[in-house]
């Protein structure tokens, strides 16, 4: 049995986790609980749990500070965060501390099962690295440093190639799909963190990609597509930031597209929003983003459609969800970009899995 500790200032949450584990018969034993951060540290010292599930906000010291101290007491422990909060700083700090995942409140059987399965995979993956694997880890470290420096200097050239190489190394190091998802997610979020840190005035809300979307992928190829799409989005923003006095205009437009791609809008509406003429915005957009507005919007929608199709959504529903009220037109556009109809793409992915 894997030793598990549960820390939350809500009694009902702690007891709820214990009850769910008992009903589901998972390979876990709750060996300690606490309702505040300082008591949690005492429990960790006494029982040395392998997996620690903790709330972010607790009396005394919060969950993130507790994790920092707990890692000194029990460095081999695996940490899971319980939280209803999605703020950037909480997410980034947790990732920096090596947290493997989150459970959003309210806690359910499915959430408990999925996160503890992931923790078990992490435990099983622990091993001594061979010399060849150590070389790959060193290469990954240097790659990450290179990408970080480019982001800090706002130099987008070849970042996409470096990200692909980093994912290739992670593929070599982690054969287990769940662990590969987790490590890929940590990589991309650390890069986004560097980008956000360097652009405090960025108008679009700073946020990390949802891990729930990543959990819906069924192969490393799908994980790579999802991760690379996020990297490409960051690169586009970096390119837009190069425009100096015009950057806020382009960033506002890109942010609007990302939040409202399912709505019916065009260049005229965006030009009104940023208070410039449509012709000027069209020219500025192409100069700073590297493609026309309509091509960017269409590609953005197609990528979102692919995500939904991979999640098993019906083609008609996907069409409306990404901003196309005309089903046939959506299928035509999709085939033009992907070489397959949405149904063919969906079927091909199933066969590949």
Tens-place pLDDT, residues 229-241 = 888 878 877 766 6
> Would you place residue 328 in the very low, low, confident or very high pLDDT band (cuts 50, 70, 90)?
very high
Domain ranges of the chain: 2-125, 131-295, 296-352
Beginning with the edge strand found earlier in the chain, give each strand of the sheet holding 78-82 in spatial order.
Answer: 28-34, 2-7, 51-55, 78-82, 101-103
Which range is most confident: 20-34, 133-147, 181-195? Answer: 133-147
Q: Is the pLDDT of residue 246 over 60?
A: no
Q: Please tell me which residue, 130 or 9, carries the higher pLDDT value.
A: 9
pTM of the model: 0.44
Q: Is the pLDDT of residue 267 over 90?
A: yes
User: Which two structure tokens, joined as six digits, stand for 347?
Assistant: 């079927």
Mean pLDDT of the chain: 82
Determine the pLDDT at residue 106.
79
Which residues partner with 54 through β-bridges? 7, 81
Q: Is the pLDDT of residue 205 over 50?
A: no
Q: Are 247 and 240 a contacting pair, CB within 8 Å? A: yes
Q: For 296-352, CATH number? A: 1.10.10.60
Q: Is the pLDDT of residue 121 over 80?
A: no
The answer to which of 122-126, 156-160, 278-282 has the lowest mean pLDDT is: 122-126
CATH top-level class of 2-125: alpha beta
Mean pLDDT of 77-101: 68
Q: Please tell me which residue, 192 or 301, carries the higher pLDDT value.
A: 301
Q: Pairing mode, if any, of strands 28-34 and 2-7?
A: parallel
Determine the pLDDT at residue 125.
60
């Amino acid at each position: 049995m894997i030793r598990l500790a549960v820390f939350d200032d809500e009694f009902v949450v702690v007891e709820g986790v214990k009850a769910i584990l008992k009903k589901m018969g998972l390979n876990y034993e709750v060996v300690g609980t606490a309702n505040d951060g300082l008591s949690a540290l005492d429990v960790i010292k006494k029982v040395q749990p392998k997996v620690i599930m903790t709330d972010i906000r607790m009396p005394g010291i919060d969950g993130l500070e507790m994790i920092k101290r707990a890692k000194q007491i029990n460095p081999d422990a695996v940490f899971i965060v319980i939280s209803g909060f999605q703020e950037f700083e909480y997410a980034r700090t947790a990732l920096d501390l090596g947290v493997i995942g989150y459970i959003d409140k309210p806690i359910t059987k499915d959430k408990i099962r999925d996160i503890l399965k992931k923790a078990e995979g992490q435990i099983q993956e622990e091993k001594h690295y061979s010399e060849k694997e150590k070389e790959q880890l060193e290469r990954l470290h240097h790659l990450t440093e290179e990408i970080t420096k480019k982001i800090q200097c706002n130099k987008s050239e070849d970042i996409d190639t470096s990200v692909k190489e980093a994912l290739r190394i992670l593929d070599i190091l982690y054969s287990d799909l769940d662990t590969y998802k987790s490590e890929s997610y940590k990589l991309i979020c650390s890069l986004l963190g560097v980008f956000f840190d360097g652009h405090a005035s960025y108008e679009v809300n700073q946020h990390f990609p949802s891990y729930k979307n990543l959990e819906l992928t069924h192969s490393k190829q799908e994980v790579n597509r999802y991760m690379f799409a996020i990297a490409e989005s960051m690169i586009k923003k970096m390119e837009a930031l190069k425009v100096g006095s015009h950057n806020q205009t382009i960033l506002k437009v890109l942010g609007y597209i990302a939040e409202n791609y399912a709505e019916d809008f065009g260049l005229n509406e965006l030009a009104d929003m940023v208070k410039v003429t449509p012709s000027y915005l069209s020219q500025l957009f192409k100069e700073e983003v590297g493609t026309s507005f309509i091509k960017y919007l269409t590609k953005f929608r197609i990528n979102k459609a692919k995500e939904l199709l991979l999640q098993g959504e019906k083609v008609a529903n996907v069409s409306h969800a990404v901003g196309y009220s005309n089903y046939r037109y959506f299928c035509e556009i999709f085939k033009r970009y992907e070489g397959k109809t949405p149904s063919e793409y969906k079927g091909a992915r199933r066969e590949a899995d």
